Amino acid sequence: MKKISIITPCFNEEESILKCAEEIKKIFQTQLPQYDFEHIFCDNCSTDKTVSLLKEAAKKDRRIKIIVNSRNFGILKNTYNGVLNASGDAVILFMPVDLQDPPELIPEFVRHWEKGYEIVYGIRAKREEGFLIRNIRKIYYKILSKLTYVNYPAGAGDFQLIDRVVLETMKKIDDAQPFMRLMTFDCGFSSIGIPYTWRAREFGKSRNRYLHMLGQGMNGMISFSGAPLRLALISGLFFLFYSLLIETLSFFNDMNTANIPLFFIGGIQLLSIGILGEYILAIFNQVRKKPLVVERERINFND
């Protein structure tokens, strides 16, 4: 019997954690009885009852596995650590505890996997969220899709099913700041997308704050594109010629415009330094070789 691994990161999700576990269990009982499964919950040092509720559930069902971190390492590292510890023939990279990505799509993912696709990814065609943040996300992922060297479909998130061969390839990538949604496409292999509606949260508020999302977005751009550096270079050349043009015009027309080029050049210098700083920070994090996360305990892992 083949096994499918499902990865769910969590942090202070006592209201919805058991519902998520039950939904996955019900789907495999009713629609995928021919498959075994493991549901790996990666807890980022919750301070509520999340871990205790999971431990009670894990006592009753050994297919529920738990990794508890020593502190909060962020959602990207936390999720990726769970993926690296998956033992299934296929892996659902990210099953949110709030079920915003619909678990009822898993059987359809599996059917496409059975047809030979190594990557089956969800496309967030519609989003049940506010107008402003919805459009900011949409614009960002369109830009990312155009600028990255990876053939990344705009609208694809971490809600993906990947074959074991893709997972083994991902394990060979030594990345201190993993950005999974592009990493899978960076591996290659055959893929297919399935559009769906990304639902609003049923319980509570997202712990992934806007500042965190900004950092994650920068990480994705820096990790898979050299476009920001080229943008700084092109902008520098543009403003260099612009300042020369202004100086030439001021010479022939006796205009006092000496400060204008200084403002432009100063701005482009700060932009360029900031972009360089992001790449240097990425190199700094990589060369330190720190562990992805530090785990406090594991439950229902035989090893």
Instruction: Report the alpha-carbon distance of residue 19 to residue 58 in Å, rounded.
Output: 14
State pLDDT tens for residues 16-55.
Answer: 899 999 999 999 999 999 999 999 999 999 999 999 999 9
The residue among 42 and 243 whose pLDDT is bigger is: 42
Instruction: Report the alpha-carbon distance of residue 11 to residue 58 in Å, rounded.
Output: 17
The residue among 31 and 275 whose pLDDT is bigger is: 31
In the chain, % of residues over pLDDT 90 = 44
SS3 45: coil
Residue 253 has pLDDT above 70, yes or no: no
Side chain identity at residue 134, one-letter code = R
pTM for the whole thing? 0.75
State pLDDT tens for residues 68-120.
Answer: 999 998 888 899 999 999 999 999 999 999 888 899 999 999 999 999 999 99
- pLDDT tier for residue 272 given thresholds of 50, 70 and 90: confident
Instruction: Tell me how crowded residue 222 is: count the other CB atoms within 10 A of its CB.
Output: 19
Measured at the CA of 293, the angle between CA 292 and CA 298, to 5 degrees, comes to 130
Residue 3 has pLDDT above 80, yes or no: yes
**What tokens does 40 get?**
């790996």
Q: How far is CA 247 from CA 236, 257, 259, 266, in A?
A: 16, 7, 10, 16
The residue among 253 and 44 whose pLDDT is bigger is: 44
The residue among 153 and 32 whose pLDDT is bigger is: 32
Instruction: Tell me how crowded residue 144 is: count the other CB atoms within 10 A of its CB.
Output: 21
Largest CA distance in the chain: 85
Residue 286 has pLDDT above 90, yes or no: no
Is residue 64 exposed (0-12), middle (13-18) or buried (19+ Cβ within 10 Å)?
buried
**What tokens does 302 get?**
């035989």
- pLDDT tier for residue 217 given thresholds of 50, 70 and 90: low
